Amino acid sequence: MKRRFDRKSSSRVLQVGDQVLLLNPTVGSSLSPKFEGPFEVMSKLDEPQQVEVQELIHSFPELFSDIPSQTHLITHDITLSDPTPVRMHPYHASPHKCELMKQE
């Protein structure tokens, strides 16, 4: 099946000024890809620059991993206006049910 598809496929060659979409892969949902853009191709790397980028990526595998991970270096706090927890059902209730809940 793959060979059949590959017979009709062609390599993409991007030129400066072309409009492109960026694919942002999402973990766990490979069937629903997320695209951003369009972005414009601003310049093209020549051969020595491409080799330099590849060497840089291979010298720091912990920074340029294909597998997303979590960091322990940065944390953040969310300050709420009211510290009382909000208790809600994870679904919408009809107006009639809302009225009954208010009475309880």
Tell me the per-residue pLDDT of 93-104, one tens digit each, with 9 for 90 and over: 788 888 888 887
Best CA proximity match to 41, nearest among 7, 10, 16: 16
Structural domain includes residue 53 = yes
Q: How many domains does the chain have?
A: 1
Flag whether the pTM goes above 0.75: no
Alpha helices in the chain (DSSP H): 2-8, 47-59, 95-103
Structural domain includes residue 34 = yes
**Structural domain of 42:** 12-68
Q: What tokens does 11 get?
A: 């390599």
Tell me the per-residue pLDDT of 70-82, one tens digit each, with 9 for 90 and over: 778 888 888 888 8
Nearest 5°: phi and psi at 20? -130, 155
Structural domain includes residue 17 = yes
> Is the separation of the CB atoms in 33 and 26 below 8 Å?
yes
Structural domain includes residue 7 = no
DSSP string, 81-101: S--SPP---SS---HHHHHHH
